[in-house]
Amino acid sequence: MAGRGNARDPHVFCIADLIEHSEKRLSKMASEYIAGGAMDMITRVVSLCSHLFSSPVKDNCAEFDRYRLLPRVMKDVRNVDPTAECWGVKSTFPLGFSPTGIHGVAHKDKELGVSRAAASQGVPMCLSSWATSSIEDVVAQGVNSGIPYAMQLSVVEDPDANLFTIRKAEAAGAKALWVTCDLPILGRRLNEFKNSFSIPEGLTIPNLPPDVDFRAPTKNSRMGYDRGMTWEKVQWFKKNTKMQVWLKGIMDPEDAKLAVEAGADGIIVSNHGGRQLDGISSTLAALPGVVDAVAGRIPVHFDGGIRRGTDIFKALALGADFCFVGRIALWGLGYNGEEGVKLALGLLYDEFFATMTMVGVTSVKDIGRHHLARIAADGSLVRLK
């Protein structure tokens, strides 16, 4: 039929399908590790795994539905360009992978499969310091693709342990260091308590120092999260690496200003996918305030709750320069390893491209608040200023 196109997969036509099919294949412990958040999961993201949880509220995803798109017609959309820049490198579209730990729980392809999928689609990837593959091996998968990589750091008390991960990432050619700022302690993830979650045998955490017992890191005091971290620490990172230093987990406009003053190269608006402090606002609700506070001085990237191409568009319209997804890499792996991750990226690309075309914009930089209206309490649409 004219214009119908071909489906990319016989079962999975959107990310909601991917989640459903992936969760059928994953173990209960893995499904709940991926989908879960902290406490009642008010902030957490939607998943078809929700029958496993009692929380009715899924703010990170729900906030996207509080906006409506405002398309314009007759705009000559024969040449739509969805490319965008991340860490100084061009990306196929404004989406990359946020760091998520322990990919080995989802599939044997683990982070290496995610890296190959990202490379094949031309999008960036940030590796978790709790990855089950080394940054060298991850970067090697994309060596001829030109995609950029970043290394995330869960900052611990021992500076030498932090430097171990930083040096490895630099040597591997990572462009940016993502310092996770919302992790003074681990969030209270009840599913992990209930399932006695642990890193499966056979998996290792190679980006942490080799002498760390990663199955019981808190037994080793030097691996305790750095609860003493303040803005001065940003300069320590800047002095100790040539990589760009990005701060992940900025939600408050005042913190965004302090991040700029502290010398951060960029920030990521993130609430850790609802896995740290439950009951805080969704990332999309926090985004405009942060964007206004930064006022274009450094790039503002975004993650949390993105499940559709329209979600990417809405985050950009509210001022994000680039978007990331966390759980989708794991659900892609759970569905079909590397191929499942490629499928996820392909679907999101198709949806984002279709959104740009039908809204009537040909360049990512032209996406703005004028493309959105917010649904007011009485159901009416309020155009954004």
Judged by the rule CB under 6 A, the positions of this chain that interact with ligand FMN are: 33-34, 45, 60, 98-101, 128, 130, 152, 154, 180, 248, 270, 272-273, 275, 303-306, 325-327, 330
User: For residue 52, what are the contacts with CB-CB under 8 A and spacing of at least 6?
Assistant: 28, 31, 32, 35, 191
Which of 56/379 has CB closer to ligand FMN? 56
Pick between residue 80 and residue 287 the one whose CB is nearest to ligand FMN.
287
380 is in an annotated binding site: no
CB 168 within 8 A of CB 134: yes
Contact 156, 225 (CB under 8 A): yes
User: Minimum CB separation from ligand FMN for residue 181, in Å?
Assistant: 9
Question: Any known ligand binding at 98?
Answer: no
Q: Minimum Å distance from CB 286 to ligand FMN?
A: 13
Which residues lie below 8 Å from residue 56, measured CB to CB, with a gap of 6+? none
Residue nearest to ligand FMN (CB): 326
CB of 227 to ligand FMN, least distance (A): 16
Q: Is 180 annotated as a binding residue?
A: yes
- Residue 270 among known ligand-binding residues: yes
CB of 62 to ligand FMN, least distance (A): 12
CB count within 10 Å of CB 188 equals 14
Q: Is the dihedral of CA 114, 331, 63, 268 positive or negative?
A: negative
Q: Which of 21, 103, 107, 272 is catalytic?
A: 272
* CB neighbour list of residue 210: distance below 8 Å, 6 or more residues apart: none
Q: What 3-state class would DSSP assign to 149? A: strand
- Of 97 and 298, which CB lies nearer to ligand FMN in the complex structure? 97
Which lies closer to ligand FMN via its Cβ, residue 191 or residue 361?
191
Q: How far is the CB of 248 from ligand FMN (least distance, A)?
A: 5
**Are residues 78 and 104 in contact, defined by beta-carbon separation less than 8 angstroms?**
no
Comparing CB distances to ligand FMN, the nearer of 151 and 361 is 151
- Catalytic site residue 272? yes
Q: Is 33 annotated as a binding residue?
A: yes
Distance CA(361)–CA(105), nearest Å, equals: 40
Tokens representing residue 321 in the block = 């320069």
152 labelled binding-site residue? yes
Rg of the Cα atoms in the chain: 20
Binding residues for glyoxylate: 33, 189, 272, 275
Binding residues for FMN: 99-101, 128, 152, 180, 248, 270, 303-307, 326-327
Residues serving a catalytic function are 272
